[in-house]
Structure 1
Amino acid sequence: MSGSSTPPRKALSKIASNRIQKELVDWQVNPPHGFKHKVTDNLQRWVIEVNGAPGTLYTNETYQLQVDFPEHYPMESPQVIFVPPAPLHPHIYSNGHICLDILYDSWSPAMTVSSICISILSMLSSSTSKQRPQDNDRYVKNCRNGRSPKETRWWFHDDKV
């Protein structure tokens, strides 16, 4: 599964490789509720199944996240996108890009894939409407040439959703 926003691949640093392997072991022992790691032979790209939380707009819906780890993870955030079709949500673009500050400006090396997943599920669960961001068409059109969401200058202004 290669998304159109695949960053150029560079080999993982030793620190990144060790950290990702540790997170994978932790995930296998204690996976976050509502998520399932789809096993592949690629440590640098994880595919994660997301199940909508019961009692939310996304109950009984399943989506896939693609997590691409950069060379210098965890000092640099992973690229996280929904594999289309992405859920209808005011902060999720139809190309799968997610407007969530912890994936960009508010990233911390203390965060993990599990904590990212929990934040995304929380974002989905708190939504009161199923709709695309107002600028979806313009944004997606500007990303057509494989632009990564990490190249976007996000404006985080809505803390209601």
Structure 2
Amino acid sequence: MTASSVSSRKVLSKIATNRLQKELTEWQINPPSGFTHKVTDNLQRWVIEVNGAQGTIYANEKYQLQVDFPENYPMEAPQVIFLHPAPLHPHIYSNGHICLDILYDSWSPAMTVGSICISILSMLSSSTVKERPEDNDRYVKNCRNGRSPKETRWWFHDDKV
């Protein structure tokens, strides 16, 4: 996210604030296995540490997710990206953008940060190869100047990974 988009971001609605406070409280009581929320005073941006699942090609590796919540969360999906360095994965671009349908077209207000994390860990765990998407270089080049992954028209065609 660019500095200008951070400063122009709208304040969370009361519904979003209440929902996020509830999710954060539930997370503190019962965090999803393999994830740690890095505590800050910013409810609108969460940084979450991801531990690769044992028995997978990502075992013993750690990554960080940045979750930015829109003003009308949960009616709109949060923006979720991997911070640098992003894991090598066929659905994760080197700029941290994630090609995962629940973050875009298949989002539901019933989903939570925890369910997003579980889906991302499942996506990582099912991969048998560590490689970037075929169009990584072209995509990343087109995303310069702070383009959000939510501005991308994703094509969800590969459910093997």
Aligned to 2:21: 21
Instruction: Give the counterpart letter for 2:55 in structure 1.
Output: G
Structure 2 unaligned residues grouped into runs of 5+:
none
Aligned to 1:81: 81
Work out the percentage of aligned pairs sharing the same amino acid: 84
Aligned to 1:33: 33
Q: How does 1:141-156 map to 2 (within 5 A)?
A: 141-156=141-156
Instruction: Give the counterpart letter for 1:131 in structure 2.
Output: E
Instruction: Give the counterpart letter for 1:58 in structure 2.
Output: Y
Aligned residues: 159
What's the RMSD between the two structures over aligned residues? Answer: 1.2
- TM-score of the aligned structures, taking structure 2 as reference length: 0.96
Q: Could you tell me how far 1:4 is from its partner in structure 2? A: 4.7
Q: What does the per-residue CA deviation read over 1:3-51, in whole Å, with 9 as the maximum and x for residues that have no partner?
A: 5596641100000000000000000011000000000010000000000
Q: How does 1:7-156 map to 2 (within 5 A)?
A: 8-156=8-156
Instruction: Give the counterpart letter for 2:151 in structure 1.
Output: E
Cα distance in structure 1, aligned partners of 2:34 and 2:9: 29
Q: Could you tell me how far 1:59 is from its partner in structure 2? A: 0.4
SS in 2 for 1:158: coil
Q: List 4+ stretches of structure 1 deviating above 3 A.
A: 3-8
Cα distance in structure 1, aligned partners of 2:92 and 2:142: 15
Cα distance in structure 2, aligned partners of 1:107 and 1:4: 24
Cα distance in structure 1, aligned partners of 2:123 and 2:110: 20
Cα distance in structure 1, aligned partners of 2:9 and 2:114: 23
Cα distance in structure 1, aligned partners of 2:83 and 2:9: 18
- TM-score of the aligned structures, taking structure 1 as reference length: 0.96
SS in 1 for 2:80: strand
Cα distance in structure 1, aligned partners of 2:99 and 2:76: 17
SS in 2 for 1:81: strand
